[in-house]
Structure 1
Amino acid sequence: MSPEDHTPAVDEATAFEQLGTVAVSEHSVHSVLQTVADLTKQVMPGTIEASVSVLVADKATTMVYTGQLALDLDESQYGRGYGPCLHAASMGQTVEVEDARTEARWSDYMRNAVDRGSLSSLSLPLGSPSAMGAGLNIYARGPSAFHEDSRRIAHRFARFAGVATANVNAYQSAREQADDLQVALESRAVIDQAKGILIERYQLTADEAFKLLAQASMASNRRLRAVADQLVTTGELVLPPSRS
């Protein structure tokens, strides 16, 4: 049995069952993509390494990888500014290299791939480049390593990675917005308490009390929330000299 014919360490159904248990609220984008890359390596037939390339401000980086071969070949393309993984991530198109020894595209990169021991590869976009420039890259040692079934599996992993990444990003964004809202609500509550103290202390209207807080904020060069919190906690308010 050749290395290219070895039995996958994990079957397809088990792999996707594991992916289905990944809780968005408990994982970062990095951990989700690392899980995808690791399972891709275990499920795909043959001796392969996997990585995920991400484009940020037109600069490419390898976010996760399963072995040095994948990282080296990714970075070899970044240094040149072109190659299968960059094309997949930036153009949203699947790129398959059946035999790097005879591939006409990106000839100098192909020579490097052969020298490093990768004769075929498959790079798949993770969703639309307009939403996120990223790609799942699979590097095989032997030529013509990808067949109909392995391509189908690879596309499933790429789709899952794209959707999972979008969901994690959306969840984290929602959490940040919720945290910001909570801070805003807490600030509003403290400021309202401080206004209430000033209204009672100086017989002011609500608007006058707020203006007094604002003047104290400017006089002390501190945030309005901090001034209000000090007043609520200690009863102290630093006023401008003209109001002292």
Structure 2
Amino acid sequence: MARTENPPPTSAAEALEQLGRLSLREHSMESVLQTVADLTSAVMPGATDVSISLLVDDKPETPVYSGRLALELDESQYSRGYGPCLHAAGTGEWVQVDDARADDRWPEYMERAVAAGSLSSLSMPLPIAEGLCGALNIYGREAHAFSAESRSVAEQLAPYAAVAAGNMHAYASAQDLADNLQIALESRAVIDQAKGILIERYKLTPDQAFQLLAQASMETNRKVRAVAEHLVRTGELLVR
């Protein structure tokens, strides 16, 4: 994971200043997210581990974290399907746990958090885009680690994570679209080649040639593209 090259900040103002100086041209979006996690951990009171959890079409993941405790507790919530970070991400409401030993919400998760060494936590929602949401999660080792001032700091840092995550998602979606388009074009090309072979071999019309490929596809339980690739490569039309 990438780390910040600047000295650790001693205040929220310094953290925000460092984030403001980041050049998005020189950093990947994952690097920006990691920077947000590291700076948040540095300016929060006490010993804290920070993570950024994302829900992409309701599938949770933790792309960056400042310490193993944060990753472990995120994944503990994912496996159970509930917990502070999932609630914050899914509802858009911030969630604060003052003392996990006395908190009766999500009892199985609270037991796991206490056993792992986290008695308090703060999860700030990251509303990003349709189909994508997340949370900035701060795990404290001591009870009552977070005050109203802590929440204010987290609220100021969270938008940087939201922007970076949104850009990451947009880039990935564009890349997926381009990849799918390329696959579609390649499939069409090889199917057209196979149709040409059948038209020449059996004196068929284009529609008849495609119907022959489709029939071979159904009989062999293979995709039309696979049948066409085999025909182009070997000259053999797959049949039972």
TM over 0.5: yes
Counterpart residue number, 1:154: 154
Name structure 2 gaps, 5 residues minimum: 1-8
Counterpart residue number, 1:22: 27
Counterpart residue number, 2:217: 217
Counterpart residue number, 1:3: none
Counterpart residue number, 1:7: 10
Instruction: Quote the sequence identity (%).
Output: 54
Matches within 5 A, 1:27-176: 27=30, 33-44=33-44, 47-53=47-53, 64-67=64-67, 70=70, 85=85, 87-95=87-95, 116=117, 121-127=121-127, 131-132=131-132, 134-140=134-140, 141=142, 146=147, 148=149, 151-176=151-176
Deviation at 1:42, TM superposition (A): 2.8
Deviation at 1:225, TM superposition (A): 1.5
Q: Is the 8 A contact 2:88 2:95 kept in 1?
A: yes
Name structure 1 gaps, 5 residues minimum: 1-5
Counterpart residue number, 2:198: 198
SS at match of 1:93: coil
Change (3 A) 1:205 1:231: same
Change (3 A) 1:213 1:39: same
Once the two structures are superposed, what CA deviation does each residue of 1:44-70 show, in whole Å capped at 9, x if it has no partner? 465433233556898987665433554
Deviation at 1:186, TM superposition (A): 0.7
Deviation at 1:81, TM superposition (A): 9.1
Counterpart residue number, 1:207: 207
Deviation at 1:7, TM superposition (A): 2.9
Letter in 2 for 1:177: L
Once the two structures are superposed, what CA deviation does each residue of 1:179-226 show, in whole Å capped at 9, x if it has no partner? 122111111111111212222233221112222222333444432212
SS at match of 1:38: helix
Deviation at 1:129, TM superposition (A): 10
Q: Is the 8 A contact 2:51 2:138 kept in 1?
A: yes
Once the two structures are superposed, what CA deviation does each residue of 1:95-126 show, in whole Å capped at 9, x if it has no partner? 457x759xx975996xx87x9575x7543111
| RMSD of aligned residue pairs (Cα, Å) | 4.6
**How many angstroms apart in 1 are the aligned matches of 2:209 and 2:79?**
61
**How many angstroms apart in 2 are the aligned matches of 1:237 and 1:181?**
27
Worse overlay, 76-85 or 6-15:
76-85
Counterpart residue number, 1:184: 184
Higher Cα radius of gyration:
1
Q: TM-score, normalised by structure 2?
A: 0.64
SS at match of 1:126: strand
Worse overlay, 11-20 or 180-189:
11-20
**How many angstroms apart in 1 are the aligned matches of 2:79 and 2:235?**
62
**How many angstroms apart in 1 are the aligned matches of 2:202 and 2:191?**
16
Change (3 A) 1:194 1:56: closer
Q: TM-score, normalised by structure 1?
A: 0.64
